[in-house]
Amino acid sequence: MALKPKFAPSGKPLSIHHIGSSLPHSRYQRCPQCDLLFQLPAVLPHQNAWCPRCNAKVHNGRDWSLTRLAAMAVTMLLLMPFAWGEPLLKLYLLGTHIDANLLQGIWQMTRQGDVLTASMVLFCTVGAPLTLVAAIAYLWLGNILGMNLRPVLLMLERLKEWVMLDIYLVGIGVASIKVKEFAFLQPGIGLLAFAALTILSILTLIHLNVEQLWERFYPQRRASQPSSSLRVCLGCHYTGIPDARGRCPRCHIPLRLRRNMSIQKSWAALIASLIFLLPANLLPISIIYVNGVRQEDTILSGIISLADSNVAVAAVVFFASILVPFTKVLVMLTLLLSVRYKCEQGLKTRIILLRFITWIGRWSMLDLFVIALTMSLIDRDQLLAFTMGPAAFYFGAAVILTILSVEWLDSRLLWDAHESGNARFAD
């Protein structure tokens, strides 16, 4: 069955007569989210198109040239030493002043023996942005030298949600309000560089159109006839017939009907994250020493004491640290059970929920960023010191596992379960 897609030109509206089968460049493709086979009319580069069944975006009109992306990457690279190494906040306490920057906070975490939590923070704030810059540089250079660009293009699409500079920026705000009650604070030079880096990275991620890069570097013939043997590749979103070795002709990863072991992997990550969420919420996540007196805070008690000084910030932390992780786990449980029991009701709601938690999930890292920064700010030995508790590791691990659980779930299985009570896909 071939349906006509919703088609929204940005600019002047196209009449329905344009969406005919007589168009020379119209093509057949499958939706990567619901597997519907539909006919996509000729789209201009700046136009968007959505799947007629599940409303997933199947053509993205945003496009920046590789030269412009490379210019952004160079600017980001120049800003990085200042954003990460210069002080984000300056703290004045007991006649001395302490500078806190991003790398110092991560180093403090490492020194206290929590290498794993420190590397999670390092990856999301330093590793992923650096990889983004390196990947753009590789594409630009590799395009000239004729290198294999496939692995980098495959990685870029997945990298997007791990660049968490925006969340760290909010974390700086939360940390400064937390610390305000102990000492006088001033923004540092690094903050300006960090804000600029964040804006540039967001702009780059918005305009980085991996699909159009694929089409440019590895052009492929598009299907002109609807055929049930057409499959959509989850790596590069190309719709085609597997090559002789069963691979996607464009990106060379195995082209499967459904993602392998999707349900099992998704369940495993979800159950592990559920287990980690218990110690994450019951054990202390931060420990503060004021005049030698040790005071422990769990996630919830920290939020309650933050609410005394600033309700709005406490609400942000509550949303990121408690509401988001638990909603995510609940939604994933519902989705996986609905696939298991071939549920037919509320499919639209489930799809909206899945998209919502995919979009919102990364914000739960906020609390870890706040802890990392506060640790490097408040460090006065016996008088006033701030360290992280054992819950931090469990919390970080739970957040990463829920992100993976969503990533591993093949959303086409939800449609399969909806469509037929007994169809089984084993590929």
Can you tell me which of 59, 178, 231, 250 binds Zn ion, judged by CB under 5 A? Answer: 250
Q: How far is the CB of 352 from Zn ion (least distance, A)?
A: 13
Q: Does 269 bind Zn ion (CB under 5 A)?
A: no
Q: Does 259 bind Zn ion (CB under 5 A)?
A: no
User: What would the DSSP string read from start to end of 335-403?
Assistant: HHHHHHTT--S-HHHHHHHHHHHHHHGGGGGHHHHHHHHHHHH-EETTTEEEEE-THHHHHHHHHHHHH
143 vs 220 by CB, closer to Zn ion:
220
Q: How far is the CB of 146 from Zn ion (least distance, A)?
A: 20
Q: Does 391 bind Zn ion (CB under 5 A)?
A: no
Q: Does 109 bind Zn ion (CB under 5 A)?
A: no
* Count of beta carbons in the 10 Å neighbourhood of residue 259: 18
Q: Does 56 bind Zn ion (CB under 5 A)?
A: yes
Q: Does 257 bind Zn ion (CB under 5 A)?
A: no
Kindly report the backbone phi and psi dihedral angles of residue 231, in degrees, each rounded to the nearest multiple of 5, phi listed first. -130, 150
Quick one: which segment of 34-42, 124-132, 295-303, 381-389 binds Zn ion (CB under 5 A)?
A: 34-42
Contact 251, 219 (CB under 8 A): no
User: Angle at the Cα of 278 (from 274 to 282), degrees rounded to 5?
Assistant: 160
Cα-Cα-Cα-Cα dihedral of 70, 72, 73, 77, to 10°? 140
Q: How far is the CB of 42 from Zn ion (least distance, A)?
A: 20
Q: How far is the CB of 411 from Zn ion (least distance, A)?
A: 9
Rounded to the nearest 10 degrees, the angle between the axes of helix 324-340 and helix 347-360 is 140
238 vs 363 by CB, closer to Zn ion:
238
277 vs 414 by CB, closer to Zn ion:
414
Quick one: which segment of 53-61, 139-147, 315-323, 417-425 binds Zn ion (CB under 5 A)?
A: 53-61
Q: How far is the CB of 414 from Zn ion (least distance, A)?
A: 11
Q: How far is the CB of 40 from Zn ion (least distance, A)?
A: 12
HSE-up of residue 312 (Cα within 13 Å, Cβ side): 3
Residues 206 to 245 in contact with Zn ion, rule: CB under 5 A: 233, 235-236, 238
Q: Does 156 bind Zn ion (CB under 5 A)?
A: no
Quick one: which segment of 125-133, 246-254, 262-270, 330-338 binds Zn ion (CB under 5 A)?
A: 246-254
Q: What is the C-alpha to C-alpha distance for residues 157 and 140, in angstroms, rounded to an integer?
A: 17
Q: What is the C-alpha to C-alpha distance for residues 91 and 98, in angstroms, rounded to an integer?
A: 5
Compute how many residues bind Zn ion; rule: CB under 5 A: 15
Query: Any residues with CB less than 8 A from the CB of 343 and at least 6 apart, and which?
Result: 337, 417, 418
Kindly report the backbone phi and psi dihedral angles of residue 112, in degrees, each rounded to the nearest multiple of 5, phi listed first. -85, 10
18 vs 256 by CB, closer to Zn ion:
256
150 vs 362 by CB, closer to Zn ion:
150
Rounded to the nearest 10 degrees, the angle between the axes of helix 115-122 and helix 102-111 is 160
Can you tell me which of 135, 139, 251, 368 binds Zn ion, judged by CB under 5 A? Answer: 251
Q: How far is the CB of 231 from Zn ion (least distance, A)?
A: 10
Q: How far is the CB of 108 from Zn ion (least distance, A)?
A: 42
Which 8-state DSSP code applies to residue 258?
Answer: S
* Count of beta carbons in the 10 Å neighbourhood of residue 9: 15
4 vs 53 by CB, closer to Zn ion:
53
94: left (phi over 0), alpha (psi -120 to 50) or beta: left
1 vs 293 by CB, closer to Zn ion:
1
Quick one: which segment of 49-57, 165-173, 275-283, 311-319 binds Zn ion (CB under 5 A)?
A: 49-57
Q: Does 343 bind Zn ion (CB under 5 A)?
A: no
Which 8-state DSSP code applies to residue 296?
Answer: E
Q: How far is the CB of 355 from Zn ion (least distance, A)?
A: 11
Q: What is the C-alpha to C-alpha distance for residues 388 and 375, in angstroms, rounded to an integer?
A: 7
Binding site for Zn ion (CB under 5 A): 31, 33-34, 36, 51, 53-54, 56, 233, 235-236, 238, 248, 250-251
